Amino acid sequence: MKFIDLFAGLGGFHKALTELGHECVFASELDPTLRQVYFDNWGIVAHGDIKRIVDKEKDSIPPHDILCAGFPCQPFSKAGKQLGRDDKRGTLFDEIARILEFRKPRYFILENVPFLAKHDNEETWKYIEDKLVSLGYKVNHEIYSPQDFGIPQHRKRIFIVGSLKGLEHFSFHEINKQKTTLVDINQFIEENPKQFRSLPKANQDCIKLWQKFIDQIPKETKLPGFPIWGMEFGATYPFERSYPRKLSAKVLAEFKGNFGCSLKGLSKKEQIAKLPSYARVTKAFPEWKRSYIRQSRAFFEDNKILVRDVVKEIAKYPSQSWQKLEWNVGDNERIITNYILQFRASGVRIKKNDFFPSLVCTNTQIPIIGWQNRYITKEEGLKLQSLEGLALPSNDNAAFKALGNAVNSKIVKLIAEKLINEIQQPNKINGVDMLNSQQDSLIEQHETA
């Protein structure tokens, strides 16, 4: 069957469907670097802006049986601003709908972040589902992560399927039967990769400093599961019933900011600059933020005699993200470099070495293999997206951005082989069904004999 690949990226949909014997007849991708990579991988020239194509060159999109699209997820991501359809990228679903209405492919498979189903009190999902149903499609959806199918990456995505012929033949339950709890991260890690990027010395020193912090905590004291916000060590600014911007400079002068620094004798602007970035709000703190502040301050008070000196060193970091620690390994061994690491805006994250965190489209959050003191390689990234063997942009930043935006090809293949299970329809010549004509001729020959 023929398919089109919209917002194609590296071609995760392409890989899955061609492995099932289907043919790509059209692709679109806005990024010129990825268009070149798509050609290098698949020998197909991907078109550019799909919105322009639908507006002005709709006939250039050929008839097809399957529409595939991993449309932009940033407007609906919990990590973004969640503008949804108010973001111009969020309206790109409407271009998909216009193609579905124009060409009426039998099937579609769409992919996005799971929060799409909950965005704007589920109004976004209702809009999408109602539109697809109005076009004659029976629609269903499910959320999957590569780890569900033996791939050590935690990356939940919503997969939306549709069929003009109904979905009586299809069930996500059948796909769920292929889930496994057997995940071996070592099969996805190279012991001696030919090319890799070592962790910069500054990052290594940061890890050593946080290791020193952990070493000061008595073994019988449980390390926090909540994010440790170092800026709260010694801070006293109000956050429960009021917040700094609501107070005058005179009142705020009685409190302390980052790492216990005095706010006395400063202008209001200078006082605000001495607060953690997340405390410079113009409205009340949400409960989750109040909880982290409360717990971080209490943990420091309980251990300040032990950690006071190392905290002074942590306070010297210009980046507040390096002044936060997310210990996500529970009561396991307290050696940071034994684990999978990430430097994130939310802090230095320490994760168990059974799954990689989700690959994202920023090179500042590339997962780190702590015991090898290096970032994962591009080849390891391809494995985590089930895209082994594909070419990537030569630039590391562009390569990991592409991997972070890619759809996992294995999950698509599992869905597609259950969704598209019908026999290829016969070709017609001059209106004659050639397959049935050939069958009738064979029957006549058999009866004559």
Would you kindly state where each structural domain of the chain is located, as residue ranges?
2-184+394-433, 201-376
Strands 157-163, 66-69: pairing is unpaired
Query: Residue 166: left if φ>0, alpha if ψ -120 to 50, beta else—which one?
Result: left
* Percent of the chain with pLDDT strictly greater than 90: 81
Using the predicted structure, report yes or no on whether residue 445 has a pLDDT greater than 50: no
Token pair listed for 279: 């405390």
Using the predicted structure, report yes or no on whether residue 83 has a pLDDT greater than 60: no
DSSP type of residue 221: S
Averaged pLDDT, 383-396? 94
Using the predicted structure, report yes or no on whether residue 422 has a pLDDT greater than 80: no
E strand or H helix at 397: helix 396-405
* Percent of the chain with pLDDT strictly greater than 70: 89
Say what the pLDDT of residue 270 is.
Answer: 97
Say what the pLDDT of residue 76 is.
Answer: 45
Type of residue at 355 = F
Of 47-51, 236-240, 438-442, which range is least confident? 438-442
The per-residue pLDDT of the chain, averaged, comes to 89
Residues 6 or more apart in contact with residue 84 via CB below 8 angstroms? 75, 76, 90, 119, 120, 124
Using the predicted structure, report yes or no on whether residue 88 has a pLDDT greater than 70: no
Whole-angstrom CA distances from 292 to 227, 229, 259, 280, 300 are: 7, 7, 15, 16, 12
> Is 361 marked active-site?
no
**Whole-angstrom distance, CA of residue 266 vs CA of residue 274:** 10
**Among the listed residues 327, 319, 302, 299, the one whose alpha carbon sits nearest the alpha carbon of residue 364:** 319
Of 47-56, 126-135, 361-370, which range is least confident? 361-370
Confidence of residue 119 (pLDDT cuts 50, 70, 90): confident
Say what the pLDDT of residue 361 is.
Answer: 67
Averaged pLDDT, 233-244? 95
Say what the pLDDT of residue 292 is.
Answer: 97
Say what the pLDDT of residue 314 is.
Answer: 97
Token pair listed for 226: 């909540």
**Whole-angstrom distance, CA of residue 104 vs CA of residue 386:** 29
**Whole-angstrom distance, CA of residue 36 vs CA of residue 260:** 53
Q: For the stretch 325-364, what's the b/e string if a residue is b when 16 or more beta carbons lie within 10 angstroms of its beta carbon?
A: bbbbbeeeeeebbebbbbbbeebbbbbebebbbbbbeebe
Say what the pLDDT of residue 282 is.
Answer: 92
Q: Tally DSSP H helices, then E strands, for the chain.
A: 14, 14
Say what the pLDDT of residue 71 is.
Answer: 87
Say what the pLDDT of residue 421 is.
Answer: 76
The CA angle 23-393-202, to the nearest 5 degrees, is 145
Structure-model confidence comparison of residues 139 and 421, the more confident one: 139
Averaged pLDDT, 210-238? 96
**Among the listed residues 406, 415, 416, the one whose alpha carbon sits nearest the alpha carbon of residue 384:** 406
Averaged pLDDT, 95-118? 94
Say what the pLDDT of residue 73 is.
Answer: 55
Instruction: Give the total residue count for the chain.
Output: 449
Cβ burial of 18 (10 Å; 0-12, 13-18, 19+) is middle
Structure-model confidence comparison of residues 124 and 350, the more confident one: 350
Q: What pLDDT digit, counting tens, does each position of 170-196 carry? A: 999 999 999 999 999 999 999 889 899
User: Which one is catalytic: 68, 73, 206, 361?
Assistant: 73
**Whole-angstrom distance, CA of residue 14 vs CA of residue 199:** 34
Say what the pLDDT of residue 434 is.
Answer: 40
**Whole-angstrom distance, CA of residue 336 vs CA of residue 371:** 9
Q: What is the CATH number of domain 2-184+394-433?
A: 3.40.50.150
Q: How does DSSP assign 30-71, residue by residue?
A: S-HHHHHHHHHHHS---BS-HHHHHHH-GGGS---SEEEE--
Confidence of residue 448 (pLDDT cuts 50, 70, 90): very low
Secondary structure of 266-294 as H, E, C letters: CCHHHHHHCCCHHHCCCCCCCHHHHHHHH
Place of tokens 């001059």: 430
Using the predicted structure, report yes or no on whether residue 74 has a pLDDT greater than 60: no
Ranked by mean pLDDT, which of 81-95, 142-156, 419-433 comes out on top? 142-156
- End-to-end CA separation in angstroms for the chain: 36
Q: What pLDDT digit, counting tens, does each position of 252-302 carry? A: 999 999 999 999 999 999 999 999 999 999 999 999 999 999 999 999 999
Structure-model confidence comparison of residues 77 and 30, the more confident one: 30
Token pair listed for 30: 């806005």
